[in-house]
């Protein structure tokens, strides 16, 4: 920029004003600077230097737990991210993906340590605690999340997990179902899956799965069968559903409430494999309210307005970037809606 300024016959500070657009510059001077820049092939201030001086990097970190491939397999995760992107785009601020492998969480630390970011987002509900929080707090980087990590330094966008899951179960009960099963998402980064006892919930580190399971038990009864999926995807739903459905008729639930739409899709597929018709022989509810155009019938589900959730998160981040201290920002709660589709009906008998 120094060269450009020299060539235009102005001080470097004036050239800076031309490029940044703040401060008064005569139009003729600006022209001269711009043409000097063009002649020298200068394409604008170096973002690195600009970022140092301004104290702004123009990007926020976004944590992705596990592998991208797996994290983004869920349309819900992507929808939240999309909403977040919409709001951040207006700031404007970029999104810097930070991977946190399940097997070596400290990798995320190393990555974050060297990254120039203005804020950090835990966009998916991950573990209740994270070493990142202390580090970021020490660096003065504000944080936002959706339920986790549980720390008052992290601003949250929440939903009523337990209550919403209860809504789904109440819908099933109102249809007449009494034997209702539950398929949960994993309760921690790596799980074996399989039947879950109520007491197991106390060791959960993923609050969303845990609280939904609690909501389920509170509404369906503490003896209702609960199975934890190994992964929160269709395959996970298939495997979990087999445990619930591949049993003698009299023991089989007449309805299954799954903790996500993807899991519900797996349940539906397993039902088909076992010759059970949905909703005639088995009612299925999901959770999330994402679009799954490949399902034959629209899913009965709890719509948690993923995109809006992401936007709310983005607005929180925008306020944090504006300098509002985290402790002056109230957590936001998004309302959820029971959306009745074609996968629930009264039980056959």
Partner DNA sequence: GTTTCGAGTCGAATCGATTCGATACTATCT
Partner DNA sequence: AGATAGTATCGAATCGATTCGACTCGAAAC
Minimum CB distance to a copy of itself, residue 20 (Å): 11
Given DNA, a copy of itself, none, residue 59, with its beta carbon under 5 to 8 Å by kind, binds: a copy of itself
DSSP H or E run through 258:
strand 255-258
Please choose, out of 3-11, 42-50, 218-226, 311-319, the segment that lies near a copy of itself by the rule CB under 8 A: 42-50
Question: x/- contact string, 281-310, with a copy of itself (CB under 8 A)?
Answer: -----------xxxxx----------x---
Q: Does 49 bind a copy of itself (CB under 8 A)?
A: yes
Segment lying near a copy of itself (by CB under 8 A), choices 75-83, 120-128, 181-189, 318-326:
75-83
Query: How far is Cα 327 from Cα 263, in angstroms, rounded to an integer?
Result: 36
Which of 4, 17, 63, 98 is the binder for a copy of itself (CB under 8 A)? 98
d(C-alpha 11, C-alpha 222), whole Å:
75
CA end-to-end span of the chain, whole Å?
80
Candidate ranges 76-84, 184-192, 210-218, 319-327; the one touching a copy of itself (CB under 8 A): 76-84
Is 54 a binding residue for DNA by CB under 7 A? The answer is yes
Residue 241 near residue 196, CB atoms below 8 Å:
no
Peptide linkage before 92 cis (omega within 30 of 0): yes
Interaction partner, residue 69 (a copy of itself, DNA, none; CB < 5-8 Å by kind): a copy of itself
> Closer to DNA at the Cβ: 14 or 304?
14
CA atoms within 13 A on the CB side of 81: 20
Q: How far apart are CA 291 and CA 176, in angstroms?
A: 27
Residue 234, strand partner residues: none
- The single residue among 7, 17, 31, 71 that binds DNA, judged by CB under 7 A, is 17
Cβ closest to DNA, residue 13 vs residue 333: 13
Q: How far is the CB of 214 from a copy of itself (least distance, A)?
A: 29
The entry of a copy of itself, DNA, none that residue 16 binds, CB within 5 to 8 Å by partner kind: DNA
Distance separating alpha carbons of residues 102 and 125, to the nearest angstrom:
14
What residues have CB less than 8 Å from 321, skipping those under 6 apart?
60, 91, 93, 118, 119, 142
Task: Please answer whether residues 203 and 187 qualify as being in contact, where contact means their C-beta atoms are separated by less than 8 angstroms.
Answer: yes
Which of 7, 29, 128, 135 forms a contact with a copy of itself (CB under 8 A)?
Answer: 135
């Amino acid at each position: 920029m120094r060269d450009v300024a020299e060539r235009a016959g102005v001080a470097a500070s004036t050239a800076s004003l031309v490029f940044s657009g703040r401060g008064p510059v005569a139009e003729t001077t600006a022209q001269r600077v711009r043409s000097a820049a063009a002649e020298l092939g200068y394409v604008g201030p170096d973002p690195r230097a600009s970022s140092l001086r301004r104290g702004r990097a123009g990007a926020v970190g976004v944590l992705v737990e596990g592998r991208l491939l797996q994290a983004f397999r869920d349309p819900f995760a992507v929808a939240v991210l999309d909403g977040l992107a919409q709001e951040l785009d207006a700031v404007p601020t970029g999104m810097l993906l930070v991977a946190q492998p399940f097997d070596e969480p400290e990798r995320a630390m190393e990555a974050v340590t060297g990254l120039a970011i203005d804020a950090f987002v835990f966009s998916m509900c991950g573990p209740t605690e994270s070493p990142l929080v202390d580090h970021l707090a020490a660096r003065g980087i504000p944080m936002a999340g959706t339920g986790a990590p549980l720390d008052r330094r992290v601003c949250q966008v929440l939903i009523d997990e337990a209550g919403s899951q209860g809504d789904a179960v109440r819908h099933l009960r109102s249809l007449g179902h009494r034997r209702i099963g539950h398929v949960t998402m994993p309760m921690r980064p790596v799980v074996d899956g399989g039947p879950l006892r109520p007491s197991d919930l106390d060791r959960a580190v993923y609050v969303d799965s845990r609280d939904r399971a609690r909501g389920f038990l509170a509404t369906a009864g503490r003896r209702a069968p609960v199975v934890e999926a190994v992964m929160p995807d269709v395959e996970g739903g298939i495997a979990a559903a087999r445990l619930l459905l591949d049993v003698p008729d009299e023991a089989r639930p007449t309805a299954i409430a799954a903790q996500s739409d993807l899991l519900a899709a797996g349940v539906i597929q397993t039902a088909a494999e076992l010759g059970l018709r949905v909703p005639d022989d088995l009612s299925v509810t999901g959770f999330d309210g994402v679009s799954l155009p490949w399902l034959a019938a629209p899913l009965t589900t709890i719509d948690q307005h993923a995109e809006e959730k992401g936007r709310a998160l983005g607005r929180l981040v925008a306020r944090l970037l504006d300098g509002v201290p985290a402790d002056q920002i109230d957590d936001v709660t998004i309302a959820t809606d029971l959306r009745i589709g074609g996968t629930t009906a009264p039980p056959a008998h």
